[in-house]
Amino acid sequence: MIRERYLNLGVLALLLALALLARLADQSFTITVLTKVVILALAAAGLNIALGLGGLVSLGHAVFFGLGGYAMGILAFHAQNFAPLELGPLTIAGSKSMPVIWLTAIAVSALAALVIGLLSLRTSGVYFIMITLAFGQMFYYFSISWAAYGGEDGLSIYIRNGFPGLNMLDPIQFFGICFAVLCLVLLFSDRLARSPFGLALNAARQVPVRVETVGLSPMRLKLLAFVISGAITGLAGALYADLNRFVSPTMFSWQLSGELMVLVILGGVGRLIGPVVGAAIFVALEQLLGGLTAFWQIWLGVILLLIVLFARGGVVGLIAPKGVGHD
Amino acid sequence: MSILEIAGLTASYGVSQALFSVDLTVNEGEVVALMGRNGMGKTTTVKAICRMIASAGGLRFAGQDLHRLSSDRAARLGIGLVPEGRRCFRDLSVRENLIVAARPGPWDMGRVAGLFPRLGERRGQNAASLSGGEQQMLAIGRALMTNPRLLILDEATEGLAPIIRQEIWTAIARLKAESGMAILLIDKSLKELSGISDRAVVLQRGTTVWAGPMADLTPDISERLIGV
């Protein structure tokens, strides 16, 4: 059995190596597929903080993914049309700058997570799942009826947004920036899990009552985790919209929330590299089997079933079980 | 000066009333034994103090009405609980269990390891892999890391080997001698409680039936009220 740290570095190195090889072979499509892996991994890494660390089974994380996507779409839409965004007395100029869009996506998603968390964290178990799902559906149907930004048809952005000093139209450079963001988020997640906050959150997941008796509020711990989780998933949504240069209500759909959960479970709930492994398996199946049959998700279901039945720690748990060579 | 004042405390589990009229005072630096047969309301009293169940009546800690506070705020006010059954955070290491509880004050990881050297030796070990006695030491260490003004130990030696029980009692005696913190003790061992407690309070059917200096708890009274 290998140590988890080596596995983490190995998976990231493999991802980077594949992208560089694809660049050498001039395979832009492969780089785009790998970029999708990275962005979905980022979104799942966000969910992993809520689910893995906090034990919060959220079926509404597509809300944050969609908000991130629409933050990008709306800002870029107004920038490309040279028309400012008017929010009552506020007039905001559009933007094609990735850092500005990312910060907006993070802020909007974090704010939404705060409001949703405040309401949904009063419940637990199946009620929490249902409330987060309900929020997801609310945003989904709202986006469908939001004609100003494409409604059901979504919103196309003609040119990829820019990052200072880089050419984002070059697939490998866009991959590089997404990969760097993923590495930073994974590093942050690792530090977070080992911090007093992360440890308290872990404890609150295990025995909430005991956490209260040492002077900590499980509700506050979980709320903060939910907000951080939502912000990261929102950032992933902005990058995903940039990758496709398109946003649509699908980004808010409950199926997407379910897919994010599948990625985390496939890779390993609460395992640092789990979301990356899960996203890689998901996209690989989509690419390899999707060409053969339209029903490729049946095979995904079979794999998920096997993982849940026989490998609770996901693929990462199979390769580097906790307690055996675990850092 | 009293730090914990309970007067006429009542509490229920749904329709079943568990506490009818509990009176209890703990002064600064004092060790008080809360005694009684099984099911008389000792743990329920502790739960009421820690705001883990709803209660009514007089319940003040450090001059504040505890009924206004949530469980975590009561703990932050200075109530440290070593719960019945230990209940460590099993997925966390010894060190991590202590970090989670840490609040500013004289008790830190080094001082806890000084009180329980075993914990220092096993700081990287998962709590789930510790023996029962070590888990109990960890539960006490975790409560101390909150730097409480009142430490409540609910059956801290229950189910432990005699040698480990002795180790725990020695540690409690050191706490009394060195820290000066108020301690509320619940245990079945009258001999050990007599040796360490300044006062005793006896409960029967959720009501305080006797309170006074430990020296006044004669064998006759303890036989009649506690059955030992």
Per-residue pLDDT tens for A136-189? 999 999 999 998 898 999 999 988 899 999 999 999 999 999 999 999 999 999
Nearest-CA neighbor of A265 among A51, A64, A10?
A51
Task: For residue A203, give the nearest of B50, B72, B100 by CB distance.
Answer: B100
B100 with A211: Cβ contact below 8 A? yes
Arithmetic mean of pLDDT, B169-181: 91
Residue of A nearest to B86 (CA): A210
Q: What integer pLDDT is reported at residue A291 of this predicted model?
A: 79
Q: What integer pLDDT is reported at residue A2 of this predicted model?
A: 64
B83 with A202: Cβ contact below 8 A? no
Task: Report the CATH number of the A2-319 domain.
Answer: 1.10.3470
Task: For residue A213, give the nearest of B50, B90, B103 by CB distance.
Answer: B50
Contacts of B142 in chain A (CB under 8 A): 214
- Predicted model pTM: 0.89
- Six-digit token string for B78: 């200075």
Q: What integer pLDDT is reported at residue A325 of this predicted model?
A: 36
Per-residue pLDDT of chain A (327 residues), as tens digits, is: 568 889 999 999 999 999 999 999 999 999 999 999 999 999 999 999 999 999 999 999 999 999 999 999 999 999 988 888 888 888 888 899 999 999 999 999 999 999 999 999 999 889 999 999 999 999 999 999 998 898 999 999 988 899 999 999 999 999 999 999 999 999 999 999 999 999 999 999 988 888 999 999 999 999 999 999 999 999 999 999 999 999 999 999 999 999 999 999 999 999 999 999 999 999 998 898 887 888 888 888 888 888 888 888 889 998 988 754 333
Residue of A nearest to B52 (CA): A209
* A324 near B CB under 8 A: no
Report A:205-224 residues touching B (Cβ under 8 A): 206-207, 209-217
Q: What integer pLDDT is reported at residue B35 of this predicted model?
A: 94
A216 with B100: Cβ contact below 8 A? yes
- For residue B17, the cross-strand partners are B12
Taking the C-alpha atoms of residue B36 and residue B47, their distance in angstroms, rounded to an integer, is 16
Contacts of B101 in chain A (CB under 8 A): 214-215
Predicted confidence band of residue B225 (pLDDT cuts 50, 70, 90): confident
Q: What integer pLDDT is reported at residue A324 of this predicted model?
A: 41
- Six-digit token string for B56: 């009514």
* Helix/strand/coil percentages in chain B, nearest 5: 40, 30, 30
Q: How many CB atoms are located within 10 Å of the residue A270 CB?
A: 22
A211 with B72: Cβ contact below 8 A? yes
**Is the separation of the CB atoms in B188 and B155 below 8 Å?**
yes
Which domains does chain B show, CATH number per domain?
1-75+182-228 (3.40.50.300)
**Is the separation of the CB atoms in B172 and B156 below 8 Å?**
yes
A217 with B72: Cβ contact below 8 A? yes
SS3 state of residue A96: coil
Mutation target to probe the B interface, by most B beta carbons within 10 A, among A195, A211, A213 is A213
Q: What integer pLDDT is reported at residue A326 of this predicted model?
A: 35
Q: Order of strands, edge to edge, in the sheet holding B16-27?
A: B64-65, B55-61, B2-13, B16-27, B207-213, B199-204, B31-35, B182-186, B150-154, B79-82
C-alpha A22 chain-centroid distance: 24
- Where b means 16+ CB within 10 Å and e means fewer, A33-66 reads bbbbbbbbbbbbbbbbbbbbbbbbbbbbbbbbbb
Chain B positions with Cβ closer than 8 Å to A: 50, 52, 70-73, 75-76, 80-81, 83, 87, 89-92, 96-97, 99-103, 126, 142-143, 145-146
Query: How many CB pairs (< 8 A) connect A and B?
Result: 62
Taking the C-alpha atoms of residue A2 and residue A327, their distance in angstroms, rounded to an integer, is 10
pLDDT(B40) > 90: yes
Nearest-CA neighbor of A327 among A193, A203, A185, A188?
A193
ipTM reported for the complex, 2 dp: 0.85
Q: What integer pLDDT is reported at residue A89 of this predicted model?
A: 84
- Six-digit token string for A240: 């995903």
Kindly report the CA angle at A217 between A211 and A223, in degrees rounded to 5? Answer: 120
Arithmetic mean of pLDDT, B117-131: 92
Identity of the residue numbered A205: R
Task: For residue B92, give the nearest of A203, A213, A217 by CB distance.
Answer: A203
Distance from CA of A140 to the nearest CA of B (A): 37
Question: Domain ranges in chain A?
Answer: 2-319
Taking the C-alpha atoms of residue B223 and residue B208, their distance in angstroms, rounded to an integer, is 16
Task: For residue B101, give the nearest of A206, A214, A323 by CB distance.
Answer: A214
- Where b means 16+ CB within 10 Å and e means fewer, B20-30 reads bbbbbbbeeeb
* pLDDT tens digits, B11-34: 999 889 999 999 999 999 999 999
